[in-house]
Amino acid sequence: MKAAFLDRDGVINEKAPEGEYIARWEEIRFLPDVFSSIAALQQAGFKIIVATNQRGVALGKIRRDDLEEIHRRMREEFSRQGTSLTGIYVCTHDYADRCSCRKPQPGLLTRAAEEHGIELSSSWMIGDAPSDIEAGKRAGCRTARILIAGSENGVGPEADVSSPDLASAVGTILRITHSHV
């Protein structure tokens, strides 16, 4: 079984301004083509798993209950749009905690793989940050980087695919995976 691991902020929904956090459902703004892109991945046989660092919980800027509400409602919205999320894996630790789940560590991906029978070498990590790409590589996945204007685009490990948005990343991933079948 293969999966598409997606970072949340900057890939599925708009990021909060630098230094701020999305702390309530009302602050979620889905990016264009997210639902159709995820539907295309699902139709190609990918399980969809969100893997997100949410340090704001450790900093006291996001209440754990509010984060759980965001993810519950996110699942409902995906369902309304005809898709589903296999899982949402979250690291709420601060940098100093030195956990194995905070990206760039691969813990969120490896835990999801164990729990859902996912073959990491057939899977993709899609993210907008160097830590997403590094986590994907450490887990043994192929990687796709969403290049957001004004972000640290050239920093960090090189992804297998670089795209301006999720829709074009998914198009490239599907071309690559179909050519290897």
Among residues 9, 128, 132, 165, the one annotated as catalytic is 9
Phi, psi at residue 49, to the nearest 5°?
Answer: -130, 125
3-state percent breakdown (helix, strand, coil) of the chain, nearest 5: 40, 20, 45
Among residues 7, 128, 132, 165, the one annotated as catalytic is 7
9 counts as catalytic: yes
User: CA-to-CA distance for 123 and 82, rounded, in angstroms?
Assistant: 22
- Residue the block writes with tokens 């798993």: 49
Contacts of 20 (CB under 8 A, 6+ apart): 61
Give the pair of three-digit tokens for residue 40. 């295309």
SS3 (DSSP) at 76: helix
Contacts of 87 (CB under 8 A, 6+ apart): 47, 49, 50, 112, 115, 116
160 counts as catalytic: no
Give the catalytic positions in this structure: 7, 9
